[in-house]
Amino acid sequence: MTPLRAAIVGTGNIARAHAQALHHLASETGEVALVAAADTDPGRLSTFAAEFGVSAAYPDAAALLAGTEVDLVHICTPPGGHVPVALAALHADSDVVVEKPATLTLAEFDQLIEAEKQVGRFVATVSQHRFGSGAQRLRDLVRSGVVGRPLFALCSTTWFRDQAYFDVEWRGRWDTEGGGPTMGHGIHQIDLLLSVLGEWTAVNGLARKQARVTETEDLSAAHVEFASGAVASVVNSVISPREESYLRFDFEHATIELTHLYGYDDDDWRVTPAPGHESEVKAAWESGPTRIHSGHLAQFREIVRGLRGGSPLPVSTADARPTLQLVAGIYASAFGRRVIGPADLGPESPFYWQMQGDGPVW
């Protein structure tokens, strides 16, 4: 089998997780090979190229796409650079894996969807926590009906980033990061929440600058309603000294909780059946997949499977858009001080064009 040829654009922190996962897949299955990398910073590029044995190293994405034939481009630049690189890669007939947040705005996201259609290639957005075995089991339980209707959820990203974290010039700014912890950090948990609870219908949010000197919020909170009738309470913080990522789902027949920080294993899940439902909930939970860590490797395995099968790559743009739309909805609700539904976030809304709309109201 000819390995798929992958390249990485942007060779900073998260690029290492991509390269490690690609190397792992290369040695495990031989289905993919990391063949090229690009970074505008020559020092970072050469360190990365040496560390991961990449011989084709380029000063930017255009040079990479012109110089090496690739099947898959992994975009690991800061968020503001994702769309131009993604469009260039798609038009060079490559599929794309783009880090979160895929785009700075819904308008940009729709540009990606349009380009996918035009060229017949796919964009996958990174959301690695959908792929751990626990999340797969949870979605199976919901689909099978064993846990009954979803009633309530808590979705909490309480992380800590000191002021120095925001010294990196692209962080904490609307024009380069697209938002604060709602967009940049909580999006991981929000995306997992939506992958379980499905279509959201209304959001009532607030955003605050509590402690950090940034353009964006350092805290947001929201109540979200779902088509299923479920409601969720969502918190996104970078000012919380005891850090945690926590999701709690209360169904009719069980509470299912996940407590972790940046990635989870099976032991991080806790299942509490409602009285009278112990045996079927336990049996269904125990019959699902096990031992898949919620990292980039788990997602890339599914992406490679999608590439081989010619199907949209997970997480597809269709699956990822509601997450970005809910983030936009939290900002629109927080700054417009009203309840927002998906229909309020079309091109007539300033929040379609910029996450901060016409400008935040603090």
Ligand X SMILES: NC(=O)c1ccc[n+]([C@@H]2O[C@H](COP(=O)([O-])OP(=O)(O)OC[C@H]3O[C@@H](n4cnc5c(N)ncnc54)[C@H](O)[C@@H]3O)[C@@H](O)[C@H]2O)c1
Q: Where along the sequence are the contacts to ligand X (CB under 6 A)?
A: 9-15, 38-41, 44, 60-61, 76-79, 81, 99-100, 126, 128, 184
Residue 50 C-beta: closest distance to ligand X, Å:
15
Question: How far is it, in rounded angstroms, from Cα 209 to Cα 354?
Answer: 19
Q: Tell me the residue number closest to ligand X, measured at CB.
A: 12
Distances (CA, A) of 67 to 38, 62, 98: 11, 8, 21
Residue 191 C-beta: closest distance to ligand X, Å:
10
Three-class SS state of 259: strand
Nearest in space to 64 (alpha carbons), one of 42, 35, 25: 35
Question: Of 253 and 296, which has the nearer Cβ to ligand X?
Answer: 296
Question: Of 150 and 314, which has the nearer Cβ to ligand X?
Answer: 314
Question: Of 178 and 322, which has the nearer Cβ to ligand X?
Answer: 178
Terminal alpha carbon distance of the chain: 56
Question: Of 61 and 138, which has the nearer Cβ to ligand X?
Answer: 61
Question: Of 5 and 171, which has the nearer Cβ to ligand X?
Answer: 171
Residue 171 C-beta: closest distance to ligand X, Å:
9
Question: Of 187 and 207, which has the nearer Cβ to ligand X?
Answer: 187
Residue 263 C-beta: closest distance to ligand X, Å:
8
Question: How far is it, in rounded angstroms, from Cα 224 to Cα 230?
Answer: 8
Nearest in space to 332 (alpha carbons), one of 210, 111, 187, 179: 179
Task: Name residues whose C-beta falls within 8 Å of residue 317's C-beta, 6 or more positions apart in sequence.
Answer: 102, 109, 112, 113, 116, 123, 125
Question: Of 41 and 286, which has the nearer Cβ to ligand X?
Answer: 41
Residue 17 C-beta: closest distance to ligand X, Å:
7
Question: How far is it, in rounded angstroms, from Cα 319 to Cα 273?
Answer: 29
Exposure of 190 by Cβ count < 10 A (0-12 exposed, 13-18 middle, 19+ buried)?
buried
Residue 299 C-beta: closest distance to ligand X, Å:
9
Question: At how many degrees (to 10) do helices 106-119 and 317-336 cross?
Answer: 160
DSSP letter string, 261-272: SS---GGGEEEE
Question: Of 59 and 359, which has the nearer Cβ to ligand X?
Answer: 59
Residue 358 C-beta: closest distance to ligand X, Å:
25
Buried b / exposed e along 192-223 (16+ C-beta atoms within 10 A): bbbbbbeebebbbbebebeebebbbbbbbbbe
Residue 96 C-beta: closest distance to ligand X, Å:
13
Pairing assessment for the beta strands 72-75 and 4-9 based on DSSP bridges: parallel
